[in-house]
Structure 1
Amino acid sequence: MSYTTESIRNIAMTGHSGTGKTTLFEALLHAGGTIQVQGSIERGTTQSDTDAQEKARGHSIDSCIAGIDHGGCHINLIDTAGYHDFRGGTLSALAAVETAMVVVNAINGIEHGTRRMMEHARERGLARVLVVNKIDFEGARLGTLVEKLREAFGAECLPVNLPAQGGKRVLDCFFHTSGATDFSTLAEAHQQILDQVVEIDEATMGAYLDKGESALGPRQLHDAFEQCLREGHLVPICFLSARNGTGVAELLELIERMLPHPGEGNAPPFRNADNTPIAVSGAADDHVIADVFKIINDPFVGKLGIFRVWQGTVRRDSQLFVDDVHKPFKVGHLFRMNAKAHEEIEHAIPGDIAAVAKVEDIHFDAVLHDSHDEDRIHLAPLRFPQPMFGLALEPKHKGQEQKLSLALLRLSEEDPCLRVEHHKELNETVVRGLSDLHLKTVLERMKERYGVEVTTHPPRIAYRETIASQAEGHYRHKKQTGGAGQFGEVFLRVEPLERGTGFEFVDAVKGGVIPGQFLPSVEKGVRQAMDAGAVAGYPMQDLRVTVYDGKHHPVDSKEVAFVSAGRKAFLDAVVKARPIVLEPIVDMEVSIPETSVGDVTGGLAGKRARILGTDAQHGGELLLKAQAPLAELIDYATELKSMTGGRGRYSLDLSHYEPVPAPVQKQLSEAWRPRADED
Structure 2
Amino acid sequence: MGNRAGGRLSGPKCIAIVGPFASGKTSLLEAILARTGAIPRQAAVSSGTTVGDYSPEARAHVMSVEATVATTEFMGDSLTFIDCPGSIEFSFEAEPVLAACDLAVVVAEADEKKIPALQLILRKLDELGVPRLLFLNKVDRTEAGVRDTLKLLQPASTTRLLLRQIPLRKDGIIIGSIDLALERAYIYREYAESEVTDIPSDEKAREIEARFSMLETLADHDDQLMENLLEEIEPPRDQVFDDLSADLRDGSVTPVLIGTAEKGNGVLRLLKAIRHDAPDIEATRQRLGAPADGTVVQVMKTIHTPHGGKLSVSRILSGSVADGAELWLSDGRTAKVSGIYRMFGKDQTKLASAKAGDTVALGKLDDVKTGQTLSTTKGGIPALIEIEPPQPVFAFALRPKERKDEVKLSAAMQRLGEEDPSLRLHHEQDSSETILSGHGEMHLRVIVERLEGKNQIPVEGHPPAVPYRETIRKSITQRGRHKKQSGGHGQFGDVVLDIKPLPRGAGFEFTDTITGGVVPKQYIPSVEAGVRDYLKSGPLGFPVVDVAVNLADGSYHTVDSSDMAFQMAAKLAMKEGMAACSPVLLEPIMKVEIFTPSDATARITALVPQRRGQILGYDARPGWPGWDVVEATMPQSQIGNLIIELRSATAGVATYVARFDHMAELTGRLADEVMNSGGKAA
TM-score (normalised: structure 1): 0.69
CA distance in 2, matches of 1:626, 1:182: 49
- Judge conservation of contact 1:5–1:263 (CA < 8 Å) in 2: no
The structure-2 alpha-carbon separation of the partners of 1:52 and 1:206, relative to structure 1 and needing over 3 Å to count, comes to same
The superposition leaves residues 488-513 of structure 1 with CA deviations (integer Å, 9 ceiling, x where unpaired) of xxxxxxxxxxxxxxxxxxxxxxxxxx
Residue 259 of structure 1 is matched in structure 2 by 278
Residue 342 of structure 2 is matched in structure 1 by 336
Residue 410 of structure 1 is matched in structure 2 by 415
CA distance in 2, matches of 1:42, 1:609: 43
CA distance in 2, matches of 1:328, 1:103: 37
Residue 526 of structure 2 is matched in structure 1 by none
Residue 634 of structure 1 is matched in structure 2 by 640
1:16 aligns with 2:20: yes
The structure-2 alpha-carbon separation of the partners of 1:461 and 1:588, relative to structure 1 and needing over 3 Å to count, comes to farther
CA distance in 2, matches of 1:602, 1:659: 16
- Percent identity between matched residues is 25
CA distance in 2, matches of 1:62, 1:239: 26
1:293 aligns with 2:300: yes
CA distance in 2, matches of 1:147, 1:43: 35
1:237 aligns with 2:244: no
Query: 1:597: Cα distance to partner?
Result: 4.8
**Rg comparison, structure with higher value:** 2
Write the mapping of 1:480-519 to structure 2, written as runs, cut at 5 A.
none
The structure-2 alpha-carbon separation of the partners of 1:183 and 1:651, relative to structure 1 and needing over 3 Å to count, comes to farther
TM-score (normalised: structure 2): 0.69
Query: 1:654: Cα distance to partner?
Result: 4.5
Query: 1:36: Cα distance to partner?
Result: 0.9
CA distance in 2, matches of 1:22, 1:301: 25
Query: 1:585: Cα distance to partner?
Result: 1.9
- Aligned residue pairs, count: 529
Residue 319 of structure 1 is matched in structure 2 by 326
Stretches of structure 2 that go unaligned for 5 or more consecutive residues are 1-7, 185-197, 469-535, 537-541, 545-586, 675-682
Query: 1:356: Cα distance to partner?
Result: 1.1
Q: Secondary structure at the match of 1:400?
A: helix
1:164 aligns with 2:195: no
> Of 35, 44, 53, which aligns to 2:48?
44
- Judge conservation of contact 2:245–2:276 (CA < 8 Å) in 1: no
- Judge conservation of contact 2:330–2:372 (CA < 8 Å) in 1: yes
> Of 361, 367, 374, which aligns to 1:355?
361
Write the mapping of 1:76-91 to structure 2, written as runs, cut at 5 A.
76-91=80-95
CA distance in 1, matches of 2:628, 2:381: 44
Q: Secondary structure at the match of 1:53?
A: helix
Query: 1:83: Cα distance to partner?
Result: 1.0
The superposition leaves residues 258-277 of structure 1 with CA deviations (integer Å, 9 ceiling, x where unpaired) of 222222347233xxxxxxxx
CA distance in 2, matches of 1:105, 1:6: 31
- Judge conservation of contact 1:29–1:35 (CA < 8 Å) in 2: yes
Q: Secondary structure at the match of 1:48?
A: coil
Q: Secondary structure at the match of 1:342?
A: strand
Query: 1:73: Cα distance to partner?
Result: 1.9
Q: 1:16 is aligned with what amino acid?
A: P
The superposition leaves residues 588-639 of structure 1 with CA deviations (integer Å, 9 ceiling, x where unpaired) of 5499999x95995375474335674899xxxxxx999744545422244777
Q: Secondary structure at the match of 1:56?
A: helix
- Judge conservation of contact 2:340–2:363 (CA < 8 Å) in 1: yes
> Of 656, 659, 682, which aligns to 1:657?
659
Query: 1:146: Cα distance to partner?
Result: 1.5
Q: Secondary structure at the match of 2:139?
A: coil
CA distance in 2, matches of 1:182, 1:294: 47
- Judge conservation of contact 1:309–1:349 (CA < 8 Å) in 2: yes
Q: 1:444 is aligned with what amino acid?
A: E
Q: Secondary structure at the match of 1:364?
A: coil
Stretches of structure 1 that go unaligned for 5 or more consecutive residues are 270-278, 464-531, 539-579, 616-621, 672-679
CA distance in 1, matches of 2:350, 2:598: 45
CA distance in 1, matches of 2:590, 2:203: 54
CA distance in 2, matches of 1:362, 1:589: 36
Q: Secondary structure at the match of 1:37?
A: coil
CA distance in 2, matches of 1:311, 1:155: 30
CA distance in 2, matches of 1:140, 1:394: 51
1:249 aligns with 2:251: no
CA distance in 1, matches of 2:203, 2:57: 40
> Of 447, 455, 464, which aligns to 2:452?
447
The superposition leaves residues 91-134 of structure 1 with CA deviations (integer Å, 9 ceiling, x where unpaired) of 23212212121111235574221110011001111112121111
Q: 2:404 is aligned with what amino acid?
A: G
Residue 601 of structure 1 is matched in structure 2 by 607
The structure-2 alpha-carbon separation of the partners of 1:23 and 1:199, relative to structure 1 and needing over 3 Å to count, comes to same
Report the RMSD for the aligned CA atoms in angstroms.
Answer: 4.0
Write the mapping of 1:299-314 to structure 2, written as runs, cut at 5 A.
299-314=306-321
> Of 385, 390, 394, which aligns to 1:389?
394
Q: 2:312 is aligned with what amino acid?
A: G
The structure-2 alpha-carbon separation of the partners of 1:664 and 1:393, relative to structure 1 and needing over 3 Å to count, comes to same
CA distance in 2, matches of 1:125, 1:143: 26
Residue 466 of structure 1 is matched in structure 2 by none
> Of 261, 273, 290, which aligns to 1:280?
290
Query: 1:428: Cα distance to partner?
Result: 2.4
Q: Secondary structure at the match of 2:95?
A: helix
Larger relative contact order (Cα-Cα within 8 Å, sequence gap ≥ 6): 2
Q: 1:60 is aligned with what amino acid?
A: S
- Judge conservation of contact 1:142–1:183 (CA < 8 Å) in 2: no
Query: 1:313: Cα distance to partner?
Result: 0.9
Q: 2:209 is aligned with what amino acid?
A: E
Query: 1:138: Cα distance to partner?
Result: 4.9
**Stretch of structure 1 that moved more, 196-205 or 83-92:** 196-205
- Judge conservation of contact 1:7–1:74 (CA < 8 Å) in 2: yes
> Of 68, 71, 77, which aligns to 1:67?
71
Q: Secondary structure at the match of 2:425?
A: strand
- Judge conservation of contact 1:5–1:351 (CA < 8 Å) in 2: no
Q: 1:258 is aligned with what amino acid?
A: D
The structure-2 alpha-carbon separation of the partners of 1:203 and 1:637, relative to structure 1 and needing over 3 Å to count, comes to closer
CA distance in 2, matches of 1:23, 1:600: 38
Query: 1:326: Cα distance to partner?
Result: 2.9
Q: 2:659 is aligned with what amino acid?
A: Y
1:428 aligns with 2:433: yes
Q: 2:443 is aligned with what amino acid?
A: H
- Judge conservation of contact 2:9–2:279 (CA < 8 Å) in 1: no
Q: 1:663 is aligned with what amino acid?
A: E
CA distance in 1, matches of 2:666, 2:98: 41
- Judge conservation of contact 1:159–1:236 (CA < 8 Å) in 2: yes
CA distance in 2, matches of 1:155, 1:586: 28
Residue 190 of structure 1 is matched in structure 2 by 211
Q: 1:132 is aligned with what amino acid?
A: L
- Judge conservation of contact 1:294–1:305 (CA < 8 Å) in 2: yes
- Judge conservation of contact 1:159–1:237 (CA < 8 Å) in 2: yes
Q: 2:253 is aligned with what amino acid?
A: L
Q: 2:346 is aligned with what amino acid?
A: K
> Of 464, 471, 474, which aligns to 1:459?
464
Q: Secondary structure at the match of 1:7?
A: coil
Query: 1:444: Cα distance to partner?
Result: 1.1
Query: 1:63: Cα distance to partner?
Result: 0.6
**Stretch of structure 1 that moved more, 197-206 or 150-159:** 197-206
The structure-2 alpha-carbon separation of the partners of 1:154 and 1:87, relative to structure 1 and needing over 3 Å to count, comes to closer
The structure-2 alpha-carbon separation of the partners of 1:651 and 1:240, relative to structure 1 and needing over 3 Å to count, comes to closer
CA distance in 1, matches of 2:351, 2:217: 41
Q: 2:367 is aligned with what amino acid?
A: D
Residue 103 of structure 2 is matched in structure 1 by 99
- Judge conservation of contact 2:88–2:652 (CA < 8 Å) in 1: no
Residue 469 of structure 1 is matched in structure 2 by none
